[in-house]
Amino acid sequence: MKLHAPAWVAAYRRGQLPGDLIAALVVTMLLVPQGLAYASLAGLPPQLGLYASVLPMVAYALFGTSMVLSVGPVAVTALMTASALAPIAAPGSPEYIAGAIVLAFLSGLMLFVFGLLRLGQLARLLSHPVINGFIAGAAILIIIGQLRPLLGIQSQGDTALELLWALLGSASSLDPLTSAIGVGALLLLWLARRHLATALERMGIPGPQATLLSRMAPMAVVLLAAAGVALTGIGDQLAVVGSLPTGLPQMVWPALDWSLLTALWLPALIISLITFVESVAIAQAFARQAGARIDPNAELRGLGAANLASAFSGAFPVTGGFSRTVVNAEAGARTPLAGVLAAGLMVVVLLFATGLFRSLPNTVLAAVIIIAALSLVDIKGLKHAWRFDRLEGIAFGGTALGVLLAGVEAGVVFGVVFSLALLVWRASHPHLAVMGRMPGSEHFRNVLRHPEVECDPALVIVRVDENLFFGNAEGIEERLFAIAAEHPEAEHLILVMSSVSHVDATAADMLEYLNATLADRGVRLHLAEVKGPVMDRLEAGTLLGHLSGEVFISTHAAVCQLSPAGR
């Protein structure tokens, strides 16, 4: 891989600047409260959320391929960071922060190396129901976890049950002032999300601007709350963000000691996988709208560079965020310059405006997180998956439940293992169809679904609806013998191979045995519609030399020759 300026730099047109600039402004307005909130969700000092929003955006702009993806702190990776670091150290402690840096470093390194190795296809191991189930489960876990700072309750727990149990047990410690501010902020944010754009339009503001303005609601609520607390002087009765350091992040080198590496490589791998899958899904959705393309391997490098940049900034894992990307695209971003400009604005915030958030109550950050997480719980998607196929619904719901009951990593592992096991199980239990000819055609269909088809009792035509491999060879053999036994008059068994794209050695052994046994019983075995690649394979084996029957180009050709009377 050669390092050179990204393609969008050379192709940049002046006309793209206004869109990129407005997008940078709007995204920054969203990124500041989200950064503060997600850092605290990750158990880290709030300023790290701002640090994670400067260099990572620039690094992604240099290496990534999406024009609009907004990379930075995101709720699900923040949760995964907290979950990975919980066994290592106490949240906020220097060891904990060092762990977060190592986690970002390892994730970044893995993503970058996977990109160099062109392993973008690895992400295909996650099916849509598994991804959606994972995100829904993580979002519910986030919401339950944020009830604690929202209501000012002291409680702890890793899984949803533990959290709920701890919340119930300490519900009496609920702080009325904190709860009132938090629930108020929650209501405001919810109303803004649901109704603000429409309300602004009714006030005569054009649609697109109204939508953009409504996106600034989190920043407005945050500033309002901080100002309110500062002015009323109730900051000492509440948990507040406190004074943030002014200035840019200092460059750090991750403390790569052996025990940290062994404890964090697996969480880092899972964070990498989720980071990548989520980002690519978002980037691809937007690229499709614009008729552009995403290169998954370049995305791996882009996200890897962003996470390495986050580690060197002393922060935590980052990825492409859905809500910020929507805002970025809606606000008119045309190139990654929007991200670079947003990073520049974030520098301005860090240099001059951190004081604004000193009196910001933590409960308002919890409200920001809860509102963002709510939109990730995709009940419609669960219904859709369930209606399409019960087993897909189980993959969705099982992954979500796995995340809730056993933690984020266990949830992902359950989802991947369940989908792969399902794949093997399905392939091991193939559909077989006994076929007959549709009257007046050369086309053959299942006799059970099309009772009108014509059959010749001397011919049994069976279509096997799966590749032949070790997992199903024995089962198919048994069922073919059973079918042959049900047709005692048959002299020919025609195996229609139209659905068979691969035959392995175990299945080739089975076909040899089937052929020999049927021949002993006076039944000849024929193959029809054998695909090219399968024929190549069979020619390398010994079956064709022993075959009692013939290989026909089509089922029709087989029937014409074997049953001339039946034509």
Contacting residues toward a second copy, per CB under 8 A: 121, 124-130, 288, 384-385, 387-389, 392, 419-420, 423-424, 426-428, 430-431, 433, 438, 441-443, 445-446, 449, 465-467, 469-475, 498-502, 504-506, 508-509, 513, 517, 531-533, 537, 540-541, 553-554, 556-557
| Residue nearer to a second copy on the CB measure, 58 or 510 | 510
**Cβ at position 414, least distance to a second copy in Å:** 15
* Residue 436, token pair as written in the block: 């007959």
**Cβ at position 528, least distance to a second copy in Å:** 10
Q: Which residues, 6+ apart, have CB-to-CB distance to 353 below 8 Å?
A: none
| Residue nearer to a second copy on the CB measure, 532 or 564 | 532
| Residue nearer to a second copy on the CB measure, 138 or 528 | 528
**Cβ at position 1, least distance to a second copy in Å:** 22
**Cβ at position 446, least distance to a second copy in Å:** 6
Q: Which residues, 6+ apart, have CB-to-CB distance to 180 below 8 Å?
A: none
In terms of Cβ atoms closer than 10 Å to its own Cβ (0-12, 13-18, 19+), residue 250 is: exposed
- Angle at 67 (CA atoms; ends 307, 128), nearest 5 degrees: 70
First to last CA, the chain: 63
DSSP class of residue 237 equals G
| Residue nearer to a second copy on the CB measure, 21 or 125 | 125
CA nearest neighbour of 59 among 1, 6, 23: 6
What's the rounded Cα separation, in Å, for the pair 526 and 503?
16
| Residue nearer to a second copy on the CB measure, 361 or 381 | 381
**Cβ at position 473, least distance to a second copy in Å:** 8
Helix, strand or coil for residue 441? coil
Place of tokens 């032949």: 468
**Cβ at position 567, least distance to a second copy in Å:** 14
**Cβ at position 447, least distance to a second copy in Å:** 11
| Residue nearer to a second copy on the CB measure, 121 or 243 | 121
| Residue nearer to a second copy on the CB measure, 165 or 513 | 513
**Cβ at position 138, least distance to a second copy in Å:** 19
Buried b (16+ CB within 10 A) or exposed e, 153-192: bebeebbbeebeebbeeeeeeebeebbebbeebbebbeeb
* Residue 442, token pair as written in the block: 């050369």
| Residue nearer to a second copy on the CB measure, 358 or 426 | 426
**Cβ at position 438, least distance to a second copy in Å:** 7
Helix, strand or coil for residue 452? coil
**CB of 282 closer than 8 Å to CB of 320:** yes
What's the rounded Cα separation, in Å, for the pair 363 and 240?
8
**Cβ at position 93, least distance to a second copy in Å:** 34
**Cβ at position 160, least distance to a second copy in Å:** 25
**Cβ at position 290, least distance to a second copy in Å:** 12
**CB of 359 closer than 8 Å to CB of 224:** no
**CB of 157 closer than 8 Å to CB of 410:** no
**CB of 101 closer than 8 Å to CB of 318:** no
| β-pair type (492-496, 524-528) | parallel
Where does 152-257 have alpha helices with state H?
A: 160-169, 176-191, 197-202, 207-215, 217-232
**Cβ at position 65, least distance to a second copy in Å:** 15
| Residue nearer to a second copy on the CB measure, 256 or 485 | 485
| Residue nearer to a second copy on the CB measure, 312 or 396 | 396
**Cβ at position 387, least distance to a second copy in Å:** 6
What's the rounded Cα separation, in Å, for the pair 274 and 32?
23
| Residue nearer to a second copy on the CB measure, 191 or 516 | 516
What's the rounded Cα separation, in Å, for the pair 515 and 517?
6
| Residue nearer to a second copy on the CB measure, 95 or 465 | 465
Strand partners, 503: 468
- Angle at 378 (CA atoms; ends 372, 381), nearest 5 degrees: 155
| Residue nearer to a second copy on the CB measure, 13 or 293 | 293
| β-pair type (319-320, 432-437) | unpaired
What's the rounded Cα separation, in Å, for the pair 333 and 344?
15
| Residue nearer to a second copy on the CB measure, 105 or 418 | 418
Q: Which helix (H) or strand (E) holds 61?
A: helix 55-63
Strand partners, 432: 464
What's the rounded Cα separation, in Å, for the pair 287 and 336?
13
Phi, psi for 462 (deg, rounded to 5)? -125, 130
